[in-house]
Amino acid sequence: MATVAQPRTYRTAAPPRAKAPGVRHIGPNWYATVMGTAIIANAGATLPVDVPGLRTACTVVWALSFVMLLTLLTARVLHWTHHRDRVREHLLDPAVAPFYGCLSMALLAVGGGTMIVGQDWIGQQAAVAVNAVLFTAGTATGLAAAVAIPYLMVVHHRVESASPVWLLPVVAPMVSAALGPLLVPHLPAGQWQQAMLLGCYALFGLSLLATLVMLPLVFGRLVTAGPLPLVLTPTLFLVLGPLGQSTTAVNKFADVAPGVLPASYAEGFTAFAVIYGVPVMGFALLWLALAGAMALRARRQGMGFAMTWWAFTFPVGTCVTGAEGLALHTGLDALRWLAVGLYVALVAAWAVAGAHTLRGLVSGELLAAPGAPRPVTARTT
């Protein structure tokens, strides 16, 4: 009797589950949420008007930004540890890689806030120590990004047109330049203070000249190729970052230069703060109007929420701090009220972006893979 052999079946092992799946799609652009929150505290605490309770509110917001930074750093460490394929994809993606500059600016913004308002709760000595650590880490990562990301853009990326996000890696050193002067009074007098101040001035020049190379490409792309895609339209506000931050920086130099540098140089910094800051602030307001008009156009055409909406926050905040510095050194009431008006717009933009982000986190939509179906949040029949 012949028997037919039955085919042997084998169980195949299920593919191992990816660890920390919730952080797989968290990219470096998420640091913009920290930057946009910290600037609320930093800009609000130095407004040239007396608003009861404002400083306390700013301190609460600074604490929130600190918690957000720690949470995001943890998530990004898990991302780098368990999802290295995505890390490589991000670095080789010309639309994502420039956002690595946001890590530096998040560290610097929270560190600056620690000195500006955080010392009310933790004391000056602890605030100086925390800021020194975050400033050092932020400046180091900012300089690394300012070199590495343009290198990747030249060697590995293939892009069809310029984008405002190209400014992110090169503007990070400008944030160091604007916040570094906070540490100058806490350094030993003489060489240490002078090296810190002039080092910040070098960072200012580094970032400014790199911006002057990039900015014409961005504007030229708009003129020759037309408006950006709807979802990217808010990135036009990123141009305000180097403008407002450089104006802030020159005013901070003027604040700390007396007693640190010879009198002739200190007077030069004070003059430069106004001579440079006023026309740059004028151009920033021109760009703000242009970017605002483009954003309204995009909204009318159906632009929905995306993480790019955080571009409405930090860059505008730098214009607030720039106007505050100019108001201090010129005494003009118009500049004081400009700072107040911009700050009101900043808080409104932060509230809207924050509410949408929180909603997206709760629903899981913002943590899903790009292009994945939107999570179902209601019953269907």
- pLDDT score, position 57: 97
- pLDDT score, position 23: 85
- The DSSP annotation for 228-240 comes to PPGGGGGGGGGGH
**Helix (H, G, I), strand (E, B), or coil: what is residue 322?**
helix
- Kindly indicate the confidence band of residue 17, based on its pLDDT and cuts at 50, 70 and 90: low
- pLDDT score, position 380: 38
- pLDDT score, position 42: 97
- Between 87-96, 182-191, 295-304, the lowest mean confidence (pLDDT) is in 87-96
* pLDDT greater than 50 at residue 66: yes
Q: Is residue 16 part of a domain?
A: no
- pLDDT score, position 20: 76
Digit-coded pLDDT (tens) for 241-281:
999 999 999 999 999 999 999 999 999 999 999 999 999 99
Higher pLDDT, 238 or 79: 238
Query: Residue 322 is part of a domain; what is its CATH number?
Result: 1.50.10.150
Q: Is residue 54 part of a domain?
A: yes
Pairwise CA distance, residues 365 & 263, whole Å: 57
- Kindly indicate the confidence band of residue 18, based on its pLDDT and cuts at 50, 70 and 90: low
* pLDDT greater than 60 at residue 181: yes
pLDDT over 70 for what percent of the chain? Answer: 92
* pLDDT greater than 90 at residue 3: no
Pairwise CA distance, residues 272 & 277, whole Å: 8
Q: Average pLDDT in the 288-302 region?
A: 97
**Structural domains counted in the chain:** 1
Pairwise CA distance, residues 125 & 118, whole Å: 11
Q: Is residue 318 part of a domain?
A: yes
Share the mean pLDDT of the chain. Answer: 91
Q: Is residue 72 part of a domain?
A: yes
Reported for 306-309, long-range contacts at CB under 8 A and 24+ positions apart, including other chains, are 306/231, 306/234, 307/29, 307/30, 307/32, 307/357, 307/366, 308/231, 308/232, 308/233, 308/234, 308/235, 309/234, 309/349, 309/352, 309/353, 309/356
Q: What residue numbers bound the domain in which 278 lies?
A: 21-365
* pLDDT greater than 50 at residue 377: no
- pLDDT score, position 311: 97
Higher pLDDT, 114 or 368: 114
Higher pLDDT, 119 or 162: 119
- pLDDT score, position 278: 97
Q: Is residue 11 part of a domain?
A: no
pLDDT over 90 for what percent of the chain? Answer: 83
Q: Average pLDDT in the 14-30 region?
A: 76
DSSP symbol at 373: P
Q: Is residue 207 part of a domain?
A: yes
Q: Is residue 1 part of a domain?
A: no
Q: Is residue 58 part of a domain?
A: yes
Q: Average pLDDT in the 68-82 region?
A: 94
- pLDDT score, position 256: 97
Q: Average pLDDT in the 353-367 region?
A: 93
DSSP symbol at 262: -
Digit-coded pLDDT (tens) for 110-145:
999 999 999 999 999 999 999 999 999 999 999 999
Count of other CB atoms within 10 angstroms of residue 339 = 25
- pLDDT score, position 368: 83
Q: Average pLDDT in the 278-289 region?
A: 98
Q: Which amino acid is at 380?
A: T
- pLDDT score, position 22: 79
Count of other CB atoms within 10 angstroms of residue 321 = 27
